[in-house]
């Protein structure tokens, strides 16, 4: 028992020591130093005219294969603001070129003078991604960076603070930065084998979760000795307490970094997207995610989640805490910000194609909420198709109705 407890404490010290070896906080400079230059660039010269009284909503419509649809018109859409239908006063369709096609093949290496800048930040949650999953991500990311849209600038950040790269169009630097990232939070004691969600359930008196952990401990630590049932239960409780404390610290750090990144991206002078590569973040009894949601909605930042674990088989005997509470931060945030969750799929190339950069076809709809609705609150948005069936509509589900100055 002492041997395994030492392993638990060793795991905790290794994780904490590794984090301290990097910067106390990751360098999320983003647009703080470059915002003046970026904002001085010409605004997109498309036909959509947005002023303070209009609410723009970017919409992507995909078929059952995940391909963006570009044949829709204004009459195909309906917008609801807090449940009330709104008049679509402006409509604009965009075509960014076939996804995955190198810019040179399109005959263009730089964006045109009227192209809207696209800012995509890739946040690698190296505190919650395994080595095997990260390897597949690196390979797919390398191919994805080779096909960046000419109007897109990409950056790479990590939740641990490993060295990333600020916004650039240099594909080689992006690929090299991604290749150098290593997972830091994976692993842990093997006896009993617990993740943070399971440990949290045990600490909060979930008898079913404790029974399963105790049975595992009885097998791996006490060789199924029937006289050690009580000791195995106590041992499982001790390990769960340690894993709970460490898991909470790692999850809080990941959420804090994500919140800062959303805040920085909200100052981008173009389209802002964050692609979070993570196995999921579980953080019970934490109110920070609602603050991130508000930041994303107010700043018109889309958050996408790429879960690299791939296709999973439903295991009925898996702990309930693991199955039901594995991620209570990233999934809801993605949907609330109008983003997409790519999970339960082994095709990482398809994941980057769907989530990174600009989709091949998208639409911008705008409506005027009226002065009476400018109440300084977050409004719920719903974009629906009026007639087309079997299509997936991707759009943010809220906006901040600022009061008139």
Q: Tokens 């039901």 map to which residue?
A: 324
Q: Specify the pLDDT at position 290.
A: 57
Q: 108-144 burial by CB neighbour count: b if 16+ within 10 A, else e? A: eeebeeebbbbbbbbbbbbbbbeeebbebbbebbbeb
Assigned CATH for 2-30+97-190+250-358: 3.40.50.410
Residue 308: predicted pLDDT: 92
Please give the pLDDT value at position 186: 53
Enumerate the H helices of 117-228 as residue ranges: 131-146, 171-179, 196-203, 207-220
User: CA angle at residue 326 from 264 to 279, to 5 degrees?
Assistant: 55
Do residues 262 and 274 touch, judged by C-beta distance below 8 A? yes
- Residues of the chain within CATH 3.40.50.410 domain(s) are 2-30+97-190+250-358
List the structure tokens of 286.
Answer: 């934490």
pTM score = 0.73
Position 319 scores a pLDDT of 45
pLDDT at 48: 39
Residue 326: the pLDDT is 66
- Residue 309 · residue 338 · CB < 8 Å: no
pLDDT for the residue 21: 42
Look at residue 28 in the predicted model and tell me its pLDDT.
56
- Residue 59, pLDDT score: 87
- Tokens 């790429």, located at residue: 306
List of the chain residues with pLDDT < 50: 2, 4-9, 11-27, 32-51, 98-114, 288-289, 315-316, 318-325
Instruction: Say what the pLDDT of residue 105 is.
Output: 37
Q: pLDDT value at position 98?
A: 42
Identify the pLDDT of residue 26: 44
Cβ neighbour number for residue 320 with a 10 Å cutoff: 14
């Amino acid at each position: 028992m002492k041997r395994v407890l030492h392993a638990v404490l060793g795991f905790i010290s290794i994780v904490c020591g590794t984090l301290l070896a990097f910067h106390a906080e990751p360098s999320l400079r983003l647009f703080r130093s470059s915002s003046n230059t970026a904002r001085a660039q010409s605004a997109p010269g498309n036909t959509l005219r947005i002023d303070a009284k209009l609410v723009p909503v970017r919409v992507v419509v995909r078929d059952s294969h995940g391909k963006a649809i570009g044949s829709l018109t204004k009459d195909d859409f309906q917008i609801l603001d807090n449940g009330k239908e709104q008049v679509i006063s402006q409509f604009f369709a965009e075509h960014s070129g076939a996804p995955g096609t190198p810019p040179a093949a399109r005959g263009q290496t730089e964006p045109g003078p009227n192209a809207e800048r696209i800012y995509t930040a890739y946040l690698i949650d190296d505190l919650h991604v395994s080595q095997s999953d990260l390897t597949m991500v690196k390979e797919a990311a390398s191919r994805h960076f080779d096909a960046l849209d000419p109007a897109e600038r990409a950056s790479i950040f990590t939740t641990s603070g490993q060295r990333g790269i600020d916004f650039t169009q240099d594909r080689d630097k992006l690929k090299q930065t991604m290749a150098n990232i290593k997972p830091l939070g994976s692993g842990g004691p093997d006896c009993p084998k617990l993740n943070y969600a399971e440990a949290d359930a045990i600490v909060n008196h979930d008898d079913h979760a404790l029974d399963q952990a105790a049975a595992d401990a009885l097998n791996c630590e006490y060789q199924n000795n029937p006289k050690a049932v009580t000791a195995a239960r106590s041992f499982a409780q001790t390990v769960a307490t340690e894993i709970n404390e460490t898991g909470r610290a790692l999850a809080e750090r990941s959420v804090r970094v994500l919140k800062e990144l959303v805040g920085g991206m909200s100052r981008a002078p173009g389209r802002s997207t964050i692609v979070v590569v993570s196995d999921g973040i579980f953080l019970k009894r934490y109110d920070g995610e609602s603050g991130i949601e508000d930041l994303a909605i107010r700043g018109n930042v889309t958050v996408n989640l790429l879960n690299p674990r791939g296709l999973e088989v439903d295991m009925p005997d898996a702990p309930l805490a693991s199955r039901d509470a594995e991620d209570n931060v990233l999934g809801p945030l993605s949907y609330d910000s109008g983003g997409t969750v790519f999970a339960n799929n082994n095709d990482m190339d398809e994941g980057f194609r769907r989530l990174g950069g600009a989709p091949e076809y998208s639409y911008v709809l705008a409506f005027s909420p009226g002065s009476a609705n400018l109440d300084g609150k977050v409004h719920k948005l719903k974009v629906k198709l009026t007639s087309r069936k079997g299509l997936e509509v991707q759009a943010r589900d809220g906006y901040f109705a600022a009061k008139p100055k």
